[in-house]
Amino acid sequence: MSLNSNIPEGQLEEKWTKYKSTVPLVNPANKRNLEILVVGSGLAGASAAASLAELGYKVKCFCYQDSPRRAHSIAAQGGINAAKNYQNDGDSVYRLFYDTIKGGDYRAREANVYRLAEISPNIIDQCVAQGVPFAREYGGMLSNRSFGGTQVQRTFYAAGQTGQQLLLGAYSSLERQVGMGTVQMLSRHEMLDVVVIDGKARGIIARDLVTGELERHFGHAVLLCTGGYGNVFFLSTNAMGCNTTAIWKAHKKGAYFGNPSFTQIHPTCIPVSGDHQSKLTLMSESLRNDGRIWVPIKAGDTRHPSEIPEEERDYYLERRYPAFGNLVPRDVASRAAKERCDAGFGVGTSKMAVYLDFKFNMMRYGRVEATKNGLTDASDSTILNLGREVVKEKYGNLFDMYKQITGEDPYEIPMRIYPAVHYTMGGLWVDYNLMTNVPGMYCLGEANFSDHGANRLGASALMQGLADGYFVIPYTIGSYLSKEIAVKPISTDHVAFVQAEKEVKERINKLLTINGTKTVDHFHKKLGKVMWDKCGMARNAKGLQEAIAEIKKIRDEFWKDLRVLGSADEFNPELEKAGRVADFLELGELMCMDALERNESCGGHFREESQTEEGEALRDDENYSYVAAWEFIENNWKLYKEELKFENIKIAQRSYK
């Protein structure tokens, strides 16, 4: 099978407009007869389910949580980008497009990214109309802040809870449709397989997590909006339940997996404190607006940070990247932190941390406040107190969160931070329509591979999730469903449904009857350690080859020595976890294969063999300017390459100096 990205002809700026005007439509009477299954209820899933139901389609939406409002989009902190140019600082659709392509280290499709930038302003408008309480200036206008990898202020936000507010907006639209009976919401349901009939996606098998019952659901189209798979590393900023299961089952039923190894390691997270750790907590990138990152100039310096004078501090991001300073993209900031810690300059008890210090900017804000209030001879401590209030308003909840976890007060001493797994740029391969290579099966949001190349810029995940759900899929799904209007709902007694359900049941029984000695977490932690050590921030051929062998071994042990108690026909969280980890144990291997195959460094994918003299990622455009799309073939994979063409951007060595 070959890959066709189905990118419309024409000038970059006109592709989407023309597409929208010419894409086949489905008339309202026919929409009522077409059923769409949406798996996942985060920003992409909730916005898609609501928007498609508004158009008149019959929609079912599934989520594993007890309510669609809890999808992990809720935890996104910092903001959402949009090319509004409200700040009059030179922003434009082209500039957002350019920043995103460059930020992704030239490994994303031009046409998709341009569409994303073009749609971005509509997202803000839509959310405002829903009653999303974005931050405002005193004049009543929307407020913006800066994020990494850009030199304009285009990030809209709601304190440190932007994801929460956007998701609650999408959730309210979704619940409105639920109330109207146009969406059937199935919470505490997990998709365990996709049903393919005559080469087209026609339904799913879902498990009711409360009763354990397996259910068959038919759909003319299936949308997978199930988020990222960062939990393959065990420790990540993802929620405990985030998983790859839905897209992995789809992959095993024929959908290609795009760039599986492209993982984002976020530079500012609270460091690991011990073996008991179950997850890592992000400290928003927005903090880098007002925090300066530093380590002591002297290796192994154990002095309290307040005792280290200015001239004995190394603000290494400002030193290495003067043009972007603390606001370099995430991959660059993460590697720089790792480099300093590996070289012995790390701080804290573990020495695997750097400081994120707000004092400088608290003083700066304090001076502004003092001037505003006419306090001409304010003391330093008064100024600091005034500045603290400003910082509190911007990031109060993040500072509180930090204090809860570490027991330290970041208003008084600098935060200690270290990189952690945060986001996966890889995901199911999709064309311009967001359709996988399996007709009728779509993939939206973080679950697909499409827009961020090898590194995602901050505040772009929320943008992509909502763009896909509110503004892309409502159009692109028409090009497929307009040809499906004559298809009557297929009975769930069809042999394909029966067979899929049988396989799911057998697998569940297998997990419950191994009767081994080790818990699910035991295997998950082992896998996570291999992935972090060998497929994490720095990768090399030898390590990746070892990792592949080690993962296979862990997988064998898992299927021989796992212990899951309880039964299949009850609420059984351990059983859910076991199924997810079984899938991670397969995905991990593919991630390592992909990382091994791509013998270049790009974005978050850093191959030690391929770096500049200054230790920056060195791309190899001649050999690797493509999307790696992997096809699952029983116990192995086959690689297809979608060549990336850059017709509107001159590609160059990425520089933030």
Partner 1 sequence: MSGNMNLTLKIWRQKNNKAKGELVNYKVADISPDMSFLEMFDVLNEQLITKGDEPVAFDHDCREGICGICSMHINGRPHGPKHGITTCQLHMRSFKDGDTIVVEPWRAQAFPVIKDLAVDRSAFDRIIAAGGYVSVNTGNAQDGNTLPVPKTDADMAFAAAACIGCGACVAACKNASAMLFVSAKVNQLAHLPQGQPERMERVRAMVAQMDKEGFGSCTNTGACEAECPKEISLVNIAAMNRDYLRANLLDSEG
51 makes contact with partner 1 (CB under 8 A)? yes
| Range 203-209, long-range pairs (CB < 8 A, 24+ positions) | 203/37, 203/490, 203/492, 203/497, 204/37, 204/39, 204/62, 205/497, 205/500, 205/501, 205/504, 206/62, 207/504, 207/508, 209/64, 209/571, 209/576
- Residue from 171, 262, 321, 630 binding partner 1 (CB under 8 A): 171
69 noted as active-site residue: no
- Residue from 93, 185, 472, 537 binding partner 1 (CB under 8 A): 185
Give me the least distance between CB of 38 and partner 1, in Å please. 14
Say how far apart CA 373 and CA 377 lie, in whole Å.
Answer: 11
514 makes contact with partner 1 (CB under 8 A)? no
89 makes contact with partner 1 (CB under 8 A)? no
Pairing between β-strand 183-186 and β-strand 58-62 as defined by DSSP bridges = parallel
Eight-class DSSP state of 602: B
142 makes contact with partner 1 (CB under 8 A)? yes
CB 145 within 8 A of CB 79: yes
CB 425 within 8 A of CB 392: no
| Residues of span 471-500 touching partner 1 by CB under 8 A | 471, 474
- Residue from 563, 618, 637, 651 binding partner 1 (CB under 8 A): 563
Tell me which residue has tokens 């594993």. Answer: 64
165 makes contact with partner 1 (CB under 8 A)? yes
248 makes contact with partner 1 (CB under 8 A)? no
Give me the least distance between CB of 337 and partner 1, in Å please. 21
135 makes contact with partner 1 (CB under 8 A)? yes
179 makes contact with partner 1 (CB under 8 A)? yes
Question: Which one of 98-106, 295-303, 561-569, 637-645 is the stretch in contact with partner 1 (CB under 8 A)?
Answer: 561-569
Give me the least distance between CB of 23 and partner 1, in Å please. 15
| Residues of span 209-238 touching partner 1 by CB under 8 A | 210
CB 282 within 8 A of CB 428: no
Say how far apart CA 400 and CA 409 lie, in whole Å.
Answer: 8
268 makes contact with partner 1 (CB under 8 A)? no
Give me the least distance between CB of 128 and partner 1, in Å please. 4
**Count of residues binding partner 1 (CB under 8 A)?**
81
Give me the least distance between CB of 316 and partner 1, in Å please. 28
70 makes contact with partner 1 (CB under 8 A)? yes
Identify each DSSP E strand in 167-291 by its residue range.
183-186, 189-197, 200-208, 214-218, 221-224, 257-258, 263-269
| Residues of span 280-309 touching partner 1 by CB under 8 A | 281-282
Chain centroid, CA 375 distance in Å: 45
Q: Would you tell me how many other CB atoms lie within 10 Å of the CB of residue 88?
A: 8
CB 600 within 8 A of CB 259: no
Nearer to partner 1, 352 or 496 (CB): 352
525 makes contact with partner 1 (CB under 8 A)? no
User: 231, 195, 199: which is closest to 214 by C-alpha?
Assistant: 195
Pairing between β-strand 155-156 and β-strand 80-81 as defined by DSSP bridges = antiparallel
CB 63 within 8 A of CB 40: yes
- Residue from 90, 140, 309, 374 binding partner 1 (CB under 8 A): 140
Give me the least distance between CB of 219 and partner 1, in Å please. 20
Give me the least distance between CB of 510 and partner 1, in Å please. 18
- Residue from 5, 161, 264, 326 binding partner 1 (CB under 8 A): 161
Question: Which one of 110-118, 144-152, 291-299, 514-522 is the stretch in contact with partner 1 (CB under 8 A)?
Answer: 514-522
138 makes contact with partner 1 (CB under 8 A)? yes
349 makes contact with partner 1 (CB under 8 A)? no
| Residues of span 574-613 touching partner 1 by CB under 8 A | 574
- DSSP H or E stretch at residue 427: strand 427-428
| Residues of span 628-647 touching partner 1 by CB under 8 A | none
566 makes contact with partner 1 (CB under 8 A)? yes
141 makes contact with partner 1 (CB under 8 A)? yes
| Residues of span 102-121 touching partner 1 by CB under 8 A | 121
Tell me which residue has tokens 């639920």. Answer: 178
178 makes contact with partner 1 (CB under 8 A)? yes
| Residues of span 442-471 touching partner 1 by CB under 8 A | 470-471
- Residue from 33, 172, 184, 492 binding partner 1 (CB under 8 A): 172
Q: Nearest 5 degrees, angle CA 284-CA 426-CA 327?
A: 30
Tell me which residue has tokens 């090009």. Answer: 479
* CA–CA distances in Å: residue 101 to residues 25, 117, 356: 31, 11, 28
Q: Which residues contact 112 (CB under 8 A, 6 or more apart)?
A: 432, 450, 451
User: 53, 13, 15, 21: which is closest to 37 by C-alpha?
Assistant: 53
* CA–CA distances in Å: residue 342 to residues 210, 331, 350, 364, 601: 47, 16, 12, 32, 19
Say how far apart CA 230 and CA 272 lie, in whole Å.
Answer: 16
Give me the least distance between CB of 327 and partner 1, in Å please. 24
517 makes contact with partner 1 (CB under 8 A)? yes
H helix runs in 181-286, sequence order: 245-252
Question: Which one of 88-96, 273-281, 301-309, 497-505 is the stretch in contact with partner 1 (CB under 8 A)?
Answer: 273-281
Task: Describe the chain by its helix, strand, coil percentages, rounded to 5.
Answer: 40, 15, 40
User: 38, 64, 225, 42: which is closest to 572 by C-alpha?
Assistant: 64
| Residues of span 387-446 touching partner 1 by CB under 8 A | 400-401, 404-405, 407
Q: Which token pair is 540?
A: 């090399």
Q: Which token pair is 361?
A: 């900017």
Say how far apart CA 72 and CA 76 lie, in whole Å.
Answer: 8
User: 178, 166, 215, 222: which is closest to 438 by C-alpha?
Assistant: 222
Nearer to partner 1, 461 or 628 (CB): 461
28 makes contact with partner 1 (CB under 8 A)? no
276 makes contact with partner 1 (CB under 8 A)? yes
Question: Which one of 6-14, 137-145, 247-255, 533-541 is the stretch in contact with partner 1 (CB under 8 A)?
Answer: 137-145
- Residue from 50, 80, 247, 535 binding partner 1 (CB under 8 A): 50
Give me the least distance between CB of 179 and partner 1, in Å please. 4
69 makes contact with partner 1 (CB under 8 A)? yes
Give me the least distance between CB of 207 and partner 1, in Å please. 15
2 makes contact with partner 1 (CB under 8 A)? no
68 makes contact with partner 1 (CB under 8 A)? yes
Q: Which of 330, 335, 555, 619 is catalytic?
A: 330
Give me the least distance between CB of 588 and partner 1, in Å please. 22
56 makes contact with partner 1 (CB under 8 A)? no
Residues serving a catalytic function are: 330
